[in-house]
């Protein structure tokens, strides 16, 4: 399988959408205690995706 830029952007968007959905889900189900945890997850996955994107660009 070839990793193309579109696939990486797709992966990134999928993660962001999942995070936004879970944040909304979280707020309306009164589970705001998990908001910070989800923020960490969002940031972690963003670093992972951007990192792979950076490596792909540089090599």
Partner 1 sequence: MVLGFSGALPNFAVGFLSIILLVAAAEIVVKKMEGVAKYYGISEVVIAMTIVSIGTSLPELTIHLVASVQILLSTGVPMDIFGADILQLLIGSHVEVVQKMLEKGLISDLTFQSSQEMFLQKSGTVLGASIGSDVVQETLVIGLVIISSALMAGKKGFRFSRKFLIRDYAPMVGTTLITLVLALNWEGLVKIILGGSGTLSGTLTRLDGLILVSSFVAYMLYLYSTRKESLATQGDVSKSKNPLRDLLIGLIAMGVVVGSADVFLRVVEVAVKETGLSGSMIGVATVGVVSAFPEMITAISGLRHGSEAISLGTLVGSNITNPLLAIGSGAMLSTYAVPEPLILWDLPMEVVLAGLPVLYMFKRDALGNILGKVANKIGLEETSERLKASENQVLSIAGALILILLYFVYLYVRFTYFPQDFT
Residues at the site binding partner 1, with contacts judged by CB under 8 A: 1-3, 11, 26, 29, 31, 34, 36-41, 43-45, 47-49, 51-52, 54-56, 58-59
State which residue, 6 or 40, has the beta carbon closest to partner 1: 40
Query: What is the nearest approach in angstroms of partner 1 to the Cβ of residue 19?
Result: 10
Of 2, 7, 16, 1, which is closest to residue 53 (Cα–Cα)? 7
* DSSP reduced 3-state for 5: helix
Which residues contact residue 12 at a Cβ distance below 8 angstroms, ignoring those fewer than 6 apart?
Answer: 46, 49, 50, 53
Least distance between partner 1 and beta carbon 40 (Å): 5
């Amino acid at each position: 399988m070839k990793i193309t830029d579109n696939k990486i952007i797709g992966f990134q968007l999928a993660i962001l959408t999942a995070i936004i959905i879970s944040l909304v889900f979280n707020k309306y189900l009164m589970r705001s205690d998990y908001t910070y945890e989800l923020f960490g997850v969002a940031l972690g996955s963003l670093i992972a995706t951007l990192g792979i994107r950076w490596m792909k660009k540089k090599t």
